[in-house]
Structure formats: C-alpha cells, structure tokens
Structure 1
Amino acid sequence: MTMNSTLAAAAAALILMTPMAHATGGSFLCENPMDMDRDEALEIAGSNHGLYQILMKTRENWDIAHMRAQCEAYAEGRPYEISCLDDRRNWDEIKAMVPEEYFGMSSESLTPHFQAIQNNTDEIFEVVDYCRDVGAIK
C-alpha cells in the first residue's frame, strides 16, 4: 500500500471509529474497523496487488456513496440503515465500478490508474460532515 492510500485507510478507519459516527438509528462503527472486507477484495484480485489496491479504493468510494445515500434517506424521512458495512457491502457493484480492462492488467500497469483515483481522500470527511449536519450521526 502506498503512503497516501495508507493514510486514507487510516483516516477512514479513524472516522469510522470515532464517537461522532453514532447515528440516531445506528452507527457506521464496526467492531474491527481495520477489516473492511479485505478477504472479498483478495478473492477478486488474486495475487494482483495493484488490482487489490484499486478494489480497496473502489470499496472506499462505494462506502462513501452508500453512507451518503443512507444519510440522505435519514434526512428525507425515508427508511435508512446506518450500521457497520463489513459483510454488507455489495461486491458485485464494487467490482462493476472497476473498468473491465483492469482485470487483465499487471500490477505494475495498474499503478498509474491507482494513483489517479486515490486523490479524493477529502470525500470521507465531506460525507461525515453532511451526515452530522443532517443529524444522522453525532
């Protein structure tokens, strides 16, 4: 894992572990905040570390979108579920978010693609702020 992705993963874990992530109807907190369904990503990527990194970043992007959708549902009075995402992520959707050609590329060839998608680390902070602003989490 690169330094930027390590920092992003640590920041995401910290956000998911902090008390501010408690929601009226649940929490995004997980018992083991470092798990993040890594086994599923490893199963998809096999021994291709570059693809694994891309899947984990894509998983983070899926998490952010899912968290925002749940907080929007909360704000609009629609049904929502704010809870730990481990073992609840839709890996078919996550895999579909990765360009198909990446699955045939070498780990080294995927490096520039991974670097291109790891620059949006502020999005987790933005969604947490949004969720807090609408009262879905404290």
Structure 2
Amino acid sequence: MKKFKPRPGFTVLAHKLALDPNATAGRHLHSHGGAARAAYNWAVAYITAAWWQRRAEQSYGIAEDELTPWRSWSLPSLRKAFNEGKRAGPRFAGWWEENSKEAYNTGLAGASARQQAARAQLPLW
C-alpha cells in the first residue's frame, strides 16, 4: 500500500473520535452492521448457488450452452439482484426498511471487492 505524502506547503490534520452512543443509537448501529453482514452473506449465497447448480447440471450431462447462466460478482449486478429480491424474499421482507440502503450496499460492495481481490490474488488489506 502506498503511503500518503502531502504536497509541499500543505498540512495534514487528523482527528480521532470515540463513539459513545446512547441505547437507541447503539441499537441502530448494530442493526446497520447486521444489515451489511446480511447483504454480504446474501451475495455470497446468491453467487455460489448458481455455481453449485451448474455443477449439478454438468453431472447430469447437460450441454454447456443449456447450463444455468453464471452470475456476476460486479457491484451493480449484485445491487440490482438484491433490490429485485429484498421485498419478496423472506430473508429481508420484514426488516430491510429499518436500515439505510448504504448499509446493504456496504455488504454488497465488500462481497464484490473480496471476489475481485481473490480473482487477482491480491491481499485484501
């Protein structure tokens, strides 16, 4: 990872803040964190389900052009699939509206980035 170097004549100022949420804010923080994790897990399951389905179809001798299509790990495609299924699927139907869309997007972005790093065999951090 490249180390940040300020341009000559510029000063870098940083602040470190500690969160001290009250009970209500703490519940919201945990809910948003859980939403991100749920979206991440959903994305991994969504993609791997297609992989396993293709593998089963191949074992039955189904031709390559008739197999279940691959699903993309790209963030836009994951976001589109998640948005199509979040209202209808039982996993998110009761509580997805309680959190910011950015909480779910964080989980989907994490799944997409992890796959891109794995594909490139790069360290994640």
TM range (shorter): 0.3 to 0.5
Structure 1 length-normalised TM? 0.33
TM-score (structure 2 length as normaliser): 0.36
Larger gyration radius, structure 1 or structure 2? 2
